[in-house]
Amino acid sequence: MSTSRAVAWEGFFNTRDLGGLPTRSGGTTAFGAFFRAADLRFVTEAGWAQARESGVRTIIDLRNADEIRPAHRPVTAQAGSAQFAAAPDGPTTPAAVGRVEVPLDDIDDLEFWQRVNREGLNGSPLYYPAFLRQKAGRCAAVIKAIARAEPGGVLFHCGGGRDRTGLVALLLLALADVEPRAIAADYALSAEALKALYAAMGTEDQQPVIQAMLATHGTTTEEAVMATLDGFDAERYLVAAGVTGSELQSVRGRLLGQPRH
């Protein structure tokens, strides 16, 4: 098992292990349990082999249906709030890796997203507090899907692997009582890591625009994450949203390297 957070699997962008982060009790999170990533469109067969070798057995796709390429959309069966899917043939999602679609955004709530955009919060952790307040059910659905994942590493991703993925990472790490500054620092790593993805896609780096937006609000990326975590009790929040105690124990146990009973 690797003891490095860095992930250099072929075709993966903005990808890192959530292991090795300090908890407030003096421990660290386990390597190989959870990985965060961006869109997997560039992943090669060699990259998937590397991911498998590193223990990845489940993919959680946080994107909306209109973002998922047809080649990536298999026949699905409803299971609660998540869609459990058999992976299609081809190098993009090997049959040996399970795949679950749990769209996080709730894009049908136009009023919410129009307000987020109007207030200049989108594309940064500035929208997290409002999302957590109003979309607890969506957050709970992701945690429930993770709790039901097969043994092995779980990789979750959205488009850029920054905001939706960052919010799920925040929930997981807060549930494991990781130091808030370490959670904020993990989010901040995406600024540099995304440059390679933008280059591969032939699009401009969004970071200057995001930094200007944060400056308008008188804050930074790290400060915005810390503000979200201030007084936030992940366990109480998720229980209120419908996550069971056994599901929380399963997720926390994975991240802290505690064996299942």
Question: Distance of CA 234 to CAs 86, 100, 105, 195, Å?
Answer: 31, 23, 19, 31
Would you say the C-alpha torsion 178, 80, 123, 229 has a positive or negative sign?
A: negative
Distances (CA, A) of 106 to 16, 85, 161, 180: 26, 20, 17, 27
The reply to whether 256 falls in a domain is: no
What confidence tens digit (pLDDT) does each residue in 31-52 have? 999 999 999 999 999 999 999 9
Residue 251, in any domain of the structure: no
Q: Is residue 260 a part of any domain in this protein?
A: no
Q: Is residue 250 part of a domain?
A: no
> What residue type is 116 in one-letter code?
V
pLDDT in tens, 185-225: 999 999 999 999 999 999 999 999 999 999 999 999 999 99
Measure the CA–CA gap between 82 and 34, rounded to whole angstroms.
18
pLDDT at 74: 42
Q: Bigger pLDDT: 123 or 92? A: 123
pLDDT bracket for residue 3 (50, 70, 90): low
Checking if the pLDDT of 254 tops 60, the result is yes
Residue 192 belongs to a domain: yes
Give a yes or no: residue 188 inside a domain: yes
**Structural domain contains residue 8:** no
> What is the rounded CA–CA span in Å between residue 246 and residue 130?
27
Picking from 8, 7, 19, 16, the residue whose alpha carbon sits closest to that of residue 257 is: 19
5 within domain boundaries: no
Domain CATH number, residue 225: 3.90.190
Domain that holds residue 64: 16-244
Residue keyed to tokens 């249906």: 65
* Helices then strands, each counted (H, E), the chain: 11, 7
* 62: pLDDT strictly greater than 60: yes
Contacts of 14 (CB under 8 A, 6+ apart): 36, 37, 38, 160, 161, 162, 190, 193, 194, 196, 197
DSSP type of residue 154 = E
pLDDT at 95: 75
Predicted confidence (pLDDT) at residue 89 exceeds the cutoff of 50: no
**Model confidence over 172-181: pLDDT tens digits?**
999 999 999 9
Domain count, the chain: 1
Cα–Cα–Cα angle for 213, 217, 219, nearest 5°?
95
76: pLDDT strictly greater than 50: no
Tokens of 72: 């990536």
